[in-house]
Every structure is written in structure tokens, then in C-alpha cells.
Structure 1
Amino acid sequence: MAINQNSMPTITQPTPPPQLNGHVPKKEVVIRSEAMQEIIDRKPDFMDKWAVIIFLTGLCLLFASTWFIHSPNTVEASAYLTASDAPKEIFSRQEGRLIRLWGHNDDTVAAGQVIGWIESTADHASVADLSIRLDSSLRLLADGRTNKVSKLFEKHYNHLGELQTAYQTFITALQVYNDYLVNGFYNHKKQLLKNDISSLQQINTSLLNQEKMTNEDIQLAEESFNMNNSLLNEKVLSREDLRQAKSKLVNKRLLLPQLKTTMLANEIQQREKQNEIDMLEHDLTQQNIIFQQSLQTFRSTIEDWEMKYVIKSPIDGVLSFVVPLQDKQFLQAGKLLGYVNPTGTQYYAQLNLPQNNFGEIDTGLQVQLRFYAYPYQEFGFVPGTLNYVSKVATDSGFIATIRLNNGLETNHHIRMQYKTGLKAKAVVITRNMRLPQRLYFSIAKAIRP
């Protein structure tokens, strides 16, 4: 077996010292391998001199960097999102093509403003114009300006599709209503009845005058009869003359019952004419009610049609679509198109705090909301502040609310879309400690007797 001489250990042997005065001194001879000699002869470089110092310095820096690592005490609970004056959703309630898109992202819209039209057999422009006229007619009826209602519907509509039948029914009711009010039937008939009553009143006045004169004539006849009766007693007048005077008195008295009968008949006729006027006004009221009901029914029919084929803004706010929309695009029924975000919306979260570590909970603590629909590692968390904690526990814990400091913007500056009842994990930071502090308290807790 061959032996590598380079790997052999160094052998030290005594060497003779130099001769002095005839004496030979002892001298050590050092024999080294080539590898060892190469190590001894090589000068140390930078890493050989500073490696330990660099390692110790890096270790110190690594330990110092742990001061910037936060390791707080937390209490976790389940929470859900809510808001005051929350954003409203916009849905497509009918399947079909979007034939016209009126609104776009970030547009400021008003409540009831049209955002889009969905394909229908009716002409959307005609229905919109008719809807405006119906609203105007309702205001005119409320103000009592009924004579101006018929002028709103002088225009005829022939492209209403499925609404055409309801339109014809409404026009029929309008024509009957016009006959009573606009065309003068009611006013003309009422005026005739009033004229008849006026004539009857004049006749009644004449009858009263006739009754007065008849009473005066009867009084004169009675005076003549009494005078003739006195003359008869004095033997100046015969009995025949007295009978004739009495006959004239009786005939005059018979006129009074006839006048009373005529006056009674006159009053009956006046009441009948007034009753006809009352019936006419009742009919007018009924026609007014029937027309208003027909108007409301037709308006409801148009509203039902608009619910299906017209996309409108439910509230005032800023329009925000969640899907790209364009003209001629096919929409599925019930599809969520976007939201209308009202100005001044206040978002907050409600949570149920467990009793564990509840003594550390107080208002003003910082909270991290990690929504399940938006993964925390990708979207970040929504920062908030605990602003209310109930003092009475419920079956599910203590109710608390969280004010969102930056709305629905995460710490990664990503804006989340509001959805009612969106669930999240709430991490309440009860004590904001750093990693060295946590290590210190952990060690102190472990060695504490």
C-alpha cells in the first residue's frame, strides 16, 4: 500500500548545533508536508480576518431588526359589514339585448334616471313620453285643473307593443271623461237644470204675490158681507142679495187652497230639479274617480313594463358597474350589473365579542377586518376602530361596532365593493407589542414561579 508523503505528519528530529570551540551544538530539524507548508506560507485574506466579526455584526443586526416586527396581543371574532345609506344594487330583471346604454362608470345619477334600455316589442321613446304625460295628468287632477288633462293625450301612440291594449282601454275611459267635462255635457245639462229651477222660483214668487192679493180680496169680500148682513137686519137688503154676497166670499176663499196646491207642486218641481243636479254631480264625481282609477291602472302597467325593460338608478349617487357593458350586449335575467354609491355613506362592521379576554377590550382599539371574499394575503385588511361595546352580553357574546377609518379601502390601497352582510374575521389589537417584547414577556412568564 503506497503512502502519500504529503499527508504524513511533520517529524521533528534533533539537529547538531554549530561547532563552537570544538563542541557541536544540538539543532532541531523541522520537516513539514507540502500542504501544511503551503498553508503556513499563504497570507490570510479579508474573509479570514473579518469573517467572525461580520457574522457577529449580522447577528446583532438581525436581532435589532426584530424590534420592527410587531407581534401584538389580539382577540379574534366574527364580523359582518353594514352601512347607513348603503349602496344599491342594479339588476337586469329581463333577459334580452341591451339596445341602449345611457350611463357609464363614475357618472353622477339621480334617483329614477334611466341607465339603459332592454329590448322589447314597445318603442322605449314612446313609452317614456307617454309616462311623462301620465305623471303630468296626475298632477293636474290633484290641482283641480281637469280641463287641461285631455290636451295631454291629443297625440296618438301606435308603437306600444304589449302596452297597446292597456292604452286603448285608457283612451276609452278618457273619451267618456271628456264627454262629461271637456265637451260640455255636464256644464250644459247643469245649466239647463239651473234655468229650470230659476223659472220655478219666479213662478213661486208670482204665486206668493197672487196669494197675498187673494187674501186682500177675501178680506174686502168679508167686509162687504158683514155690511150686507147689517143691512139685512135693518130690513134694507133682501136675503137674496145676502146669499149672493156670501157666494162671492166663498168663491174667493176657494182660491187659497188652489194656490197652496200650485205652490206645493212648484216646490216639488224645484226639489226634483235640484235632485237631478245632485245626481249629475254624483255622476261627475264617479266619472272622475273611474278616470283616475283608469289612469292609475295604466300608470301601474307602464311601471311594470319599465321594471322589466328599463334600467333605472334606485337612488342619487355615483354609478359603478361590476361588469363591462355596451350596446347590443345580451343580458341574463337577474344579473348584477353594478351599484349606485350614494354620497356620504358611512360603512361600519358589527361583531360579537367572546368573553375570553373581554377585560382587555375597550373602545378606541384598532381592528383589522379580513374579509373572506377578499383573501387577506392578496388584498390586505380594512383598518378600523372599535367605537362601541355593549355592556350587556347576549347569547352570542357582546355586541360591538367598528368604524372603518378609510371606508372600504384596504391597507394595500385596494377599493372593495360594498355588499350587505359581507363576512370577515375581526382581529382586535388589545396590546401592540414588538417581537423582542413578546420574547421577554414569554421568558419572564416561563421562569416566574
Structure 2
Amino acid sequence: MEQDTNIELRSESVQEILGKMPSWIVRVGSGLVFLVVLILVIGSWFFSYPEIISSKLVLTTENPPAELIARVNGKIIDLKVSDNQLIEAGDLLAVIENPANSQDVFSLRKQLNNQIPQFDGKNEMTPEFVDKNYRLGEVQAPFNAYLKACTDYSRFVDLQYHEKKKASLIQKRSNYRMYYNRQYKQRNILEKELAIVYKEFHRDSLLYTRGVISKANYQQSEKEYLQQSYAFHGSRSTLSSTQIQINEVDQSIIDLDLDEENKRKELLDQILHAYDNLTAQIDIWEQNYLLKSPITGAVSFNRFWSANQNVKQGEKVFTVLPSDSTRIIVRVDLGMNRSGKVQLGQRVNIKLNNYPYMEFGMLEGSIRSISEVPDGDNYSLDVELTNGLITSYGKELKFAQKIEGVAEIITEDQRLLQRIFNPLKALLKEHVVK
């Protein structure tokens, strides 16, 4: 029993010793913790690393290939080329089934190109330059309108209504002028007769005042004078009336010329308007049913094509690979998120889907240009390859158009300490503003 009590007393002593922490241990421990924190803070200041922004990319050439896409559903009724055939810009590759006869539309286009230089209003426009039996499908209605406009102008020219009426007015004016000249001569005669009668009347007036002649003789002389004066002034009025008629004919000729000019201009405007509508409809027809190459290069079939094979609207039919561009570039679609960190000249690691980077390595490049305005939610970047198609493993990759992959854009280095404090700084400013 005494032994158990001693054990219990010792246990309390031990507990007292253990319950009191020595001061030197506290000082040493605090110092070590402070030292570790200080080392971490200093290390985070000197340690910096970049941020990597990943985006989708497409490998292409500076002059990208042209894709020809079907605008309508239908069968290929005329296949003009074979796979990998060299073609020129503007070459016809295929014709898609449509209500029109393609050769008729081609012939019409050619004749229209030859016809338009004559639209100067001087040459006679006739509708005989076209075949009225054309089968034009969607182009038929504007073609008929153009044909009618040409026919209306041709009838206007053949009828010569204004020319004939003008000739009639000119003849009428000539007759009036002849009549005026005769009246003018009569007026001169009447003027001379009036002068003679006036002298006789003046003489008789003097004789009458002297009582030499009777009043009846005087009145007869006065009557003759008044009659001659009336005839003279009537002649002058007739001359004025004839001159007015001549002026009216002149005005009619001017109005007729103006009406002819306006009518001719109106008909020519109708021809030009109908021509523009017709050529525009032919352009639409060509866009819908013809597949033409916009560039010079080699045509590549996106699948095996043959005549009478159906194509769907929006389906990619051909791809034309340009022959005048060998410079390879990378097109990158950069999303809005973190796009402000991307700058010209930054390094880009390029991983292609066709070539696993762990086996073939990565391509290296640098940002050459950044679009000023986004396309939808993405900016467009052009990346120039630093070593061409030679990877980081020293392997040269085979180029193919439209290879897709991932671009890893290496942004500027940022200190670890800044990355730690930036969120705290933003949070603090947000609460201060509130």
C-alpha cells in the first residue's frame, strides 16, 4: 500500500515537469517557423513562371485552300475535272442539276457581254440577237423582261413617230414663214398706199377749210383714209398673228425633241435595268448550280464524285489547293478568356492531332499577328513557325492542309508571390469599394 502511494506521488511530479514547456524550446521553435516562412516568401519573390493558354489551331498556308460548297440539293449532271487535276481560276468544275439548260445560259451570258457595249442610244437595239427558244429556268422571267425592253426600243426606233411629226412641224413652220413673207410685202404696199391717201386727205382738209371743195368731198377723202389705215393696221395684226403661230410651231418642235429624248432615255433605262436584273439572276444561277474555282491550283475531291451523284446543300464538294503559296502558317482561334495576356512575338508550342507530340515532338512558333476585332467569341491569331515543320525531336513532319491541333501560348513570366497576393489584393479592393 505504501509502494502504491509513492508511485502516485512520482506521477504527479512527472506531470508537473511535462506540463511546463521550457522557454528555450519556444524560442527556438518560433525562430524556425519564422525562418521557414521568410524563406518561402523570399523564394516566391524570386521564383517566376509563365502561364500557358491553350487554344485550337489549324495548319494551313498563307493563301489558304478554297472550299467549294454546294448551295442546293441535286445531282451532279456534268463533272468537268478529275481528282488532283490542275486548274485555273474561274474554271468550271461541275454543274448541279437545275431546270435550265446550262448551255443556253452560257450562250445567253456570252451574247449579253457582246450586247452591252451598244447601249449608247445611238445604235439600233433589236431583240434578234437572242434565241427566243432558250430554256432558262429561273432566268426565264428576267430574260423575257429584257427581251420586251429591247423590243419596245426597237419599235420606238422603227416607228420614227417623233421624226415624222417633227418633219411635219418643220414643213408647217416653213409654210407659215412663206405666208408671213407675203403678208409682210402686202403690209409694205398698204403702208405706201396709206401714205398716198394721207397726203390726199391732208390736201383735201386744207381745201375744205378754204372752202374750195364741198363737205361731201372732204368726208369721202376722210373715209378713204380711214379705210386705208384700217387695212394697214389689220395687215400688221395679221403679221403678228402669223409670227405667234410660227413661235408656237417652234415651241412644239422643241417640246417634241425633248419628249423624244425623254422617251428614248426611258426605254434605254428600261433596257439597262432589265439587263442588270438579268445578269444578276444569271449570277445567282451560277452561284447556285455551278462550282467554279476561285483560285489557280489543284482540285481535291472531298469524296469520290461521279456524274449523276447527289450532293446536299452545305456539303463540301471540292477543295482547291493553291499553287502559288508555299509558306506554312498556323491559324489559332483564341477565346476571350485571358486574351489580354497574349502579345505579339510570344512563343507558341504547337501540338498536332495527326502527330502525337510524345512520339513526334512539338512544333515551335511565335505570334505574328492578332486580329483587332473578334469573330464571334474568338480572336484570330497568325503564328509563324520558327523551324518550319521540324519538331522539337528533330523530326520533319509532312504537310497537309487543315491539320488541327492545340496551340500552347507561353505568356510573360509572373512571380509566385504576385500570383498569391493578386487574389487577395482584388478581394481587398472589392470590399473597400463596397
* TM band (smaller chain): 0.5 to 0.7
Q: Which runs of 5+ in 1 are unaligned?
A: 1-72, 391-395, 432-449
- Contact 1:177/1:288 (CA < 8 Å) preserved in 2? yes
User: Whole-Å Cα distance in 2 between the matches of residues 95 and 389 of structure 1?
Assistant: 38
- Contact 1:221/1:249 (CA < 8 Å) preserved in 2? no
Structure 2 equivalent of residue 51 of structure 1 = none
Residue 135 of structure 1: SS of its match in structure 2? helix
- Contact 1:84/1:345 (CA < 8 Å) preserved in 2? yes
Structure 2 equivalent of residue 172 of structure 1 = 148
Structure 1 equivalent of residue 87 of structure 2 = 108
Structure 2 equivalent of residue 189 of structure 1 = 161
Residue 282 of structure 2: SS of its match in structure 1? helix
- Contact 2:65/2:319 (CA < 8 Å) preserved in 1? yes
- Contact 1:369/1:426 (CA < 8 Å) preserved in 2? yes
Shift of 1:335: 0.7
Structure 2 equivalent of residue 76 of structure 1 = 52
Shift of 1:210: 4.0
**CA separation of 1:233 and 1:149: change in aligned 2, threshold 3 A:** closer
Q: Are 1:416 and 2:400 matched, yes or no?
A: yes
**CA separation of 1:220 and 1:399: change in aligned 2, threshold 3 A:** closer
Structure 2 equivalent of residue 298 of structure 1 = 278
Q: Are 1:202 and 2:174 matched, yes or no?
A: yes
Q: Which has the larger radius of gyration?
A: 1
Structure 1 equivalent of residue 408 of structure 2 = 426
Given candidates 151, 156, 167, the residue that maps to 2:132 is 156
**CA separation of 1:409 and 1:88: change in aligned 2, threshold 3 A:** farther
Given candidates 247, 255, 277, the residue that maps to 2:227 is 247
User: Whole-Å Cα distance in 2 between the matches of residues 311 and 327 of structure 1?
Assistant: 14
RMSD between aligned alpha carbons? 4.2
**CA separation of 1:229 and 1:276: change in aligned 2, threshold 3 A:** same
Residue 147 of structure 1: SS of its match in structure 2? coil
User: Whole-Å Cα distance in 1 between the matches of residues 143 and 367 of structure 2?
Assistant: 58
One-letter amino acid of the counterpart of residue 110, structure 2: I
Residue 415 of structure 1: SS of its match in structure 2? coil
Structure 2 equivalent of residue 10 of structure 1 = none
TM-score by structure 2 length? 0.64
User: Whole-Å Cα distance in 1 between the matches of residues 144 and 89 of structure 2?
Assistant: 32
Task: Considering fraction of residues, name the structure with more helix.
Answer: 2
**CA separation of 1:409 and 1:295: change in aligned 2, threshold 3 A:** farther
User: Whole-Å Cα distance in 2 between the matches of residues 90 and 277 of structure 1?
Assistant: 54
Shift of 1:177: 2.9
User: Whole-Å Cα distance in 1 between the matches of residues 353 and 221 of structure 2?
Assistant: 127
**CA separation of 1:302 and 1:366: change in aligned 2, threshold 3 A:** same
- Contact 1:74/1:427 (CA < 8 Å) preserved in 2? no
- Contact 1:218/1:253 (CA < 8 Å) preserved in 2? no
One-letter amino acid of the counterpart of residue 153, structure 2: Y
Structure 1 equivalent of residue 10 of structure 2 = none
TM-score by structure 1 length? 0.62
- Contact 1:114/1:313 (CA < 8 Å) preserved in 2? yes
Structure 2 equivalent of residue 329 of structure 1 = 309
Shift of 1:217: 2.9
User: Whole-Å Cα distance in 2 between the matches of residues 222 and 96 of structure 1?
Assistant: 98
Shift of 1:126: 1.6
User: Whole-Å Cα distance in 1 between the matches of residues 155 and 242 of structure 2?
Assistant: 37
Shift of 1:117: 1.0
Structure 2 equivalent of residue 368 of structure 1 = 349
| Equivalent residues, number | 342
One-letter amino acid of the counterpart of residue 225, structure 1: V
Q: Identity across aligned pairs (percent)?
A: 18
Trace 1:20-419 onto structure 2 (pairs within 5 A).
76-79=52-55, 80=57, 86-104=64-82, 105-111=84-90, 113-141=91-119, 144=121, 146-147=123-124, 150-153=127-130, 155-161=131-137, 163-164=139-140, 167-181=143-157, 184-185=158-159, 188-210=160-182, 212-235=184-207, 238-239=217-218, 240-342=220-322, 343-344=324-325, 347-349=329-331, 363=345, 367-371=348-352, 376=357, 381-387=362-368, 401-404=382-385, 412-418=396-402
Q: Which runs of 5+ in 2 are unaligned?
A: 1-48, 372-376, 414-434
User: Whole-Å Cα distance in 2 between the matches of residues 345 and 202 of structure 1?
Assistant: 80
